[in-house]
C-alpha cells in the first residue's frame, strides 16, 4: 500500500480554496501512484473556528456526504480528510475515509480538548463511538489528534482489529512549553502506541500559523514494532509518499502477542463499577 502524507496549511473558514488545494495535492499524489492520501485534522475548514462570525461558521459546516468531500476520491486515491461536520442539531470535528467517490467511514472526535488555547467544546459536540473498518488494503481506524492521547482508544482500535491507525492532527508548538512540550509528547506517544498496539501508525500534522498558534508538521509513519519508517519535515508543507506492508501488523502480533490477552470482560466489569461509583460516563 502506498500512502501519501499531505502535510498542508489551510485558511480558516475558506472551504472553497482549501478544497481546491486538496484536489491539487491529491492529483500530485496520484501522479506518484499513491493508493491513499491522508490530510490533517480540519483540513477543509481550519482550526480557529471561534474567529468566524455566525454566518461564516454555519456556511462552512459540511455534511458528511457533501459532494465537495466525496468528489475528492472519485477519480484517484482514497482520501482521509478532516472537516467541521454539520450533523443537524449538533456539529462535530470529524474525519472521513473516502473511496471511489463515496463515504466509507466517518469518525467524530470524542475527546475535545478544552484547556489552554483549545476550546473545541465551544464549537463541536463529542462523538460517541470508535469503530475500526475495512478498506481495500486492510482493517483501519481513525483517531483525531487528542483522541490518541486517551490510552483506551488506541487500545480499542487494536482490539477491533485495526492494522493501520490514522491520526489526522492539528498540533501547535510553543503553548506553555514548560508544562506541555507537544512535540516531545507526540514523539513518545506515537512510538508507544505503535509498539504496544502493534499496528501501523500514520500521523499527519498541519503546518502554518493560525490565530497565533504555530503548527509544526513532523508527520510520520511508524511500523508495528515502533520504528519510524518515514518522517516529513518540520514547519513546512510537504507531500511524503511511503510504501507499507499492511500484513506486517498481523505478523508482529503473532511473533509477540501483546494484544491477544485483552480480558475484555474484566475491563467491562471494572469500567461499569467506576461508572456506578460516580465516574464520567
Other beta carbons within 10 Å of 269: 11
Residue 261 in domain: yes
- CATH number of 44's domain: 3.60.110.10
In this predicted structure, what is the pLDDT of residue 125?
A: 95
Q: How confident is the model at residue 59, as a pLDDT?
A: 72
| Of residues 212 and 255, more confidently modeled | 255
11 located within any domain: yes
Average pLDDT, integer, range 235-246: 98
- Split at pLDDT 50, 70, 90, the class of 13 is confident
The predicted pLDDT at position 178 comes to 62
pLDDT at 11 over 70: yes
Q: Stretch 183-209: mean pLDDT, rounded?
A: 97
In-domain check, residue 129: yes
Q: What is the pLDDT of residue 209?
A: 92
- pLDDT for position 177: 60
What pLDDT, on the 0 to 100 scale, is given for residue 252? 97
In a domain, 80, yes or no: yes
> What is the total count of domains within the chain?
1
CB 22 within 8 A of CB 14: no
Is residue 281 in some structural domain?
no
pLDDT of 45 above 90: yes
- pLDDT digits 0-9 by tens, 125-146: 999 999 999 999 999 999 999 9
For 57-111, write each residue's pLDDT tens digit: 667 899 999 999 999 999 899 999 999 999 999 999 999 999 999 999 999 999 9
Segment 195-224 mean pLDDT = 96
- Asked whether residue 114 is assigned to any structural domain, the reply reads yes
pLDDT of residue 224 exceeding 80: yes
Tell me if 238 is assigned to some domain. Answer: yes
Which of 10-14, 127-131, 235-239 shows the lowest mean pLDDT across its residues? 10-14
pLDDT at 54 over 70: no
User: Distance between CA atoms of 43 and 12, rounded to whole angstroms?
Assistant: 9
What predicted TM-score, i.e. pTM, was given to this entire model? 0.96
Domain that holds residue 217: 2-276
67-81, 105-119, 151-165: the lowest-pLDDT one: 105-119
Q: Across all residues in the chain, what is the average pLDDT?
A: 94
The pLDDT tens digits for 121-130 are 888 999 999 9
Domain assignment of residue 85, yes or no = yes
In angstroms, rounded to a whole number, what is the distance separating the alpha carbons of residues 229 and 258? 22
Tell me what percent of the residues of the chain surpass a pLDDT of 70: 95
Cell match 474567529: residue? 51
Using only C-alpha atoms, what is the Rg of the chain? 18
Q: Average of pLDDT values for 193-198?
A: 98
Question: Given this model, what pLDDT does residue 238 score?
Answer: 98
Please tell me the predicted confidence (pLDDT) of residue 267: 95
Q: Calculate mean pLDDT across residues 149-159.
A: 97
Amino acid at each position: 500500500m502506498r500512502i501519501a502524507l499531505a502535510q498542508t496549511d489551510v485558511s480558516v473558514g475558506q472551504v472553497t480554496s482549501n478544497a481546491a488545494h486538496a484536489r491539487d495535492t491529491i492529483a500530485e499524489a496520484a501522479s506518484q501512484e499513491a493508493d491513499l492520501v491522508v490530510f490533517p485534522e480540519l483540513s477543509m475548514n481550519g482550526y480557529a473556528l471561534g474567529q468566524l462570525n455566525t454566518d461564516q461558521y454555519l456556511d462552512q459546516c459540511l455534511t458528511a456526504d457533501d459532494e465537495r468531500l466525496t468528489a475528492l476520491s472519485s477519480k484517484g486515491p482514497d482520501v482521509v480528510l478532516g472537516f467541521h461536520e454539520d450533523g443537524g442539531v449538533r456539529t462535530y470535528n470529524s474525519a472521513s475515509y473516502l473511496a471511489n467517490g463515496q463515504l466509507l467511514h466517518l469518525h467524530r472526535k470524542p475527546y475535545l480538548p478544552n484547556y489552554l488555547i483549545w476550546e473545541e467544546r465551544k464549537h463541536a459536540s463529542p462523538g460517541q463511538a470508535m469503530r475500526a473498518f475495512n478498506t481495500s488494503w486492510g482493517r483501519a481506524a481513525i483517531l483525531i489528534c487528542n483522541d490518541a492521547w486517551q490510552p483506551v482508544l488506541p487500545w480499542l482500535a487494536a482490539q477491533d482489529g485495526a492494522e493501520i491507525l490514522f491520526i489526522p492532527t492539528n498540533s501547535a508548538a510553543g503553548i506553555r512549553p514548560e508544562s506541555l512540550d507537544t512535540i516531545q509528547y507526540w514523539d513518545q506517544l506515537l512510538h508507544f502506541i505503535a509498539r504496544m498496539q502493534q499496528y501501523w501508525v500514520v500521523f499527519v500534522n498541519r503546518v502554518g500559523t493560525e490565530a497565533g498558534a504555530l503548527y509544526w508538521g513532523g508527520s510520520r509513519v511508524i511500523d508495528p514494532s515502533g520504528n519510524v519508517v518515514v518522517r516529513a519535515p518540520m514547519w513546512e508543507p510537504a507531500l511524503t509518499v511511503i510504501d507499507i506492508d499492511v500484513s506486517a501488523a498481523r505478523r508482529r502480533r503473532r511473533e509477540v502477542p501483546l494484544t491477544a490477552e485483552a480480558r475484555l470482560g474484566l475491563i467491562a466489569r471494572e469500567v461499569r463499577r467506576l461508572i456506578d461509583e460516580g465516574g464520567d460516563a
